[in-house]
Amino acid sequence: MDFFALAVIIVYVLLSLSLLVSLIRVIIGPSLLDRVVALDLIAFIVISMIATYAISSGHPVYLDVAIVLALVAFLGTIAFARFVFIRAERHKKEGTHV
């Protein structure tokens, strides 16, 4: 086994462990914001796994998939931030607590 194959295996193991920790945060996250950040981290980890596979397999077409997933995750994060902002503004107008 050469160094590159060993490095790829180590990267997959570490990414899998971080994915597991992120899933735990999604499940037991105390607030909605914690869960959304954990979901964003999961998207980043999946993008990293796709990029690692693209590099290790020699098929650069998978990098296009990773880019599309990154754009979708970014748009989802922006949409959620807008939702939280609008909800906070509405509660501010009504005088209630978020």
Percent of the chain scoring above 70 in pLDDT: 98
The yes-or-no verdict on residue 98 having pLDDT over 80 is no
Spatial distance between the Cα atoms of 51 and 45, rounded to a whole number of angstroms: 10
Domain count within the chain: 1
Per-residue confidence (pLDDT) for residue 97, from 0 to 100: 66
The boundaries of the domain holding residue 40 are 3-94
Does residue 69 contact residue 43 with C-beta atoms inside 8 Å?
Answer: yes
Task: Tell me the one-letter amino acid at 71.
Answer: L
Spatial distance between the Cα atoms of 89 and 28, rounded to a whole number of angstroms: 27
* Whole-angstrom distance, CA of residue 80 vs CA of residue 47: 20
User: Do 50 and 66 touch, CB atoms closer than 8 A?
Assistant: yes
